[in-house]
Amino acid sequence: AQKVTQAQTEISVVEKEDVTLDCVYETRDTTYYLFWYKQPPSGELVFLIRRNSFDEQNEISGRYSWNFQKSTSSFNFTITASQVVDSAVYFCALSEPFGGGYNKLIFGAGTRLAVHP
Amino acid sequence: EAQVTQNPRYLITVTGKKLTVTCSQNMNHEYMSWYRQDPGLGLRQIYYSMNVEVTDKGDVPEGYKVSRKEKRNFPLILESPSPNQTSLYFCASSLWGRDTQYFGPGTRLTVL
């Protein structure tokens, strides 16, 4: 069965520190997608990134970077020089493939990141 | 502006009183879905719809109903709400089944 584990429930850092959020997934499928979403205190879910299982290239977007390693079934998210505005709950998710256009996201439990001034 | 909207954003109700949470998207997306978010559990899928008149159960469908009469709308119906349905609900849509899902702002429901 598909599963996403975010072992870090809460992380607290001081501004400008680098922080890595871990995500480990389980799937028997060879084709799948991985996602990160951000949920700020206001509650909405903001899409950050999607990665397909055939693309292991790491990605960088400003202060955000993602490290995808199929060998360890991990898709970790690093924030460089964290800022107070990064304080949020971050969810990692796996898209469970199915026939006919079905699309279910399997979410991890989330990691709450608190960045203090 | 491309968006998914939900109404109401906040709702407090009592056990057994039927309610509907509306969801609408303006992106002409085929796929729509409902999730509930509970502490420590992340988000879990309730129902989904691949197109008009095509709906199916997700992981936690008990106590919920949906309909998809129009492409843009996907209401969530609780015919007899119970306290264990107190949760944060999200509607999501995507262009097609494997595409990125975009979420509405959420509806916080409290059932007393």
Segment A88-112 mean pLDDT: 83
Asked if A45 and A39 touch (Cβ cutoff 8 Å), the reply is: yes
Would you call A43 an interface residue with chain B, using a CB distance cutoff of 8 Å?
yes
Closest CA to A8 of A96, A74, A64: A74
Give the separation between CA A67 and CA A75, rounded to whole angstroms: 6
Question: Which strand (E) or helix (H) includes residue A68?
Answer: strand A64-69
Share of chain B above pLDDT 70, in %: 98
Question: pLDDT-derived band of residue A100, with 50, 70 and 90 as boundaries?
Answer: low
Whether residues B50 and A44 touch (CB distance < 8 A) is answered with: no
For the stretch B55-79, pLDDT in tens is 989 999 999 999 999 999 999 999 9
Asked if B91 and B103 touch (Cβ cutoff 8 Å), the reply is: yes
Q: Bridge-partner residues for B25, per DSSP?
A: B4
Would you call A41 an interface residue with chain B, using a CB distance cutoff of 8 Å?
no
**Residue B97 pLDDT more than 80?**
no
Asked if B89 and B106 touch (Cβ cutoff 8 Å), the reply is: yes
Which of B35, B98, B105 is facing A95, going by the closest CB pair?
A: B98
Q: What is the mean pLDDT of chain B?
A: 94
Would you call A21 an interface residue with chain B, using a CB distance cutoff of 8 Å?
no
Which of A44, A47, A103 is facing B98, going by the closest CB pair?
A: A103
Whether the CA torsion B41, B101, A88, A42 is positive or negative: it is negative
* DSSP letters for A73-116: TEEEEEESS--GGG-EEEEEEEEE--GGG--EEEE---EEEEEE
Give the separation between CA B90 and CA A102, rounded to whole angstroms: 18
The reported pLDDT for the residue numbered A54 is 87
Which of B40, B48, B103 is facing A109, going by the closest CB pair?
A: B40
Would you call A105 an interface residue with chain B, using a CB distance cutoff of 8 Å?
yes
Residue B105: closest C-alpha in chain A = A44
The reported pLDDT for the residue numbered B34 is 97
Segment A89-110 mean pLDDT: 81
Amino acid, single-letter form, for residue B81: P
For the stretch B8-32, pLDDT in tens is 999 999 999 999 999 999 999 999 9
* Exposure letters B68-95 (e unless 16+ CB within 10 A, then b): beeebebbbebeebeeebbbbbbbbbbe
* Chain B environment of A45 (Cβ under 8 Å): 90, 103, 106
